[in-house]
Structure 1
């Protein structure tokens, strides 16, 4: 899969799960239902129900399992979006539009701090990055 599509799916999947735990969760649901409506209209109701289930699991998990449930759900939605884009790369423009116009502004408005660091090393190069409370995804 093209690296830009992979990055788009990752960013959108993370944003969706981040929003599920906020008052703006309907924005995430609306965006994903809209995307699946373009790609697979027959699955819209299923996706809506799965997002409701994901929100319930996330809220319950926050009380007991902390960030583990959130990372599992983010991985699940990143994977769904990767598979959707792999099957139909033409959906990338629609997903980018939804990310730019709905998901990213909702994350900002919800006051959720999101920091993304990305680095690439080649040859004998080394990368040193630091942060706190990290979730590391290697590719």
Structure 2
């Protein structure tokens, strides 16, 4: 059970940190504060989330991977402690993550079918739904069996 709670806390921290730098954070933040405030727990989560958000934005701007990892680790430990203190919170966290996870509830799916017929292409082919920051370097060499001009 401990490993399951640790995995849930890690997933929660990853989702939480990802949401902090997204457009949906203001709505998600209220839900996260309620999660940490259940059962009369101390009310410091709101301020700590605000500070973490500021630190995360600054770390991303300066491309400080270590600081970003530290923020995630901090929330992973906080979630883990919350789950250990109240095992019933696991189901609430699972439900919260299902609602808040990027793309959750969007109901959109994409089906892509590719068919290549009769032409030989010598270059990269990539298929995916969301792809960014790609760079291709290609030599202009002539493929075997074709003339240069």
- TM-score bracket for the superposition, by shorter chain length: 0.5 to 0.7
More contact order relative to length (CA 8 Å, sep ≥ 6): 1
Matched, 1:68 2:72: no
- Report the 3-state secondary structure (helix = DSSP H, G, I; strand = E; otherwise coil) of the residue aligned with 2:23: coil
d(CA) in 1 for partners of 2:6, 2:64: 26
Matched, 1:17 2:12: no
Match for residue 108 of structure 1?
103
The Cα RMSD (Å) is: 1.7
d(CA) in 1 for partners of 2:34, 2:61: 30
Instruction: After TM superposition, list the pairs within 5 Å mapping 1:29-108 onto structure 2.
Output: 29-41=29-41, 43-44=42-43, 46-101=44-99, 103-104=100-101, 107-108=102-103
d(CA) in 2 for partners of 1:5, 1:27: 25
Structure with greater proportional helix content: 1
Q: Which runs of 5+ in 1 are unaligned?
A: 110-139
d(CA) in 2 for partners of 1:35, 1:83: 13
Q: Which runs of 5+ in 2 are unaligned?
A: 105-149
Cα deviation, residue 23, structure 1: 1.2
Cα deviation, residue 68, structure 1: 1.8
Instruction: Output the TM-score relative to the length of structure 2.
Output: 0.63
Cα deviation, residue 37, structure 1: 2.2
- Report the 3-state secondary structure (helix = DSSP H, G, I; strand = E; otherwise coil) of the residue aligned with 1:80: helix
Runs of 4+ in 1 over 4 A off after TM superposition: none
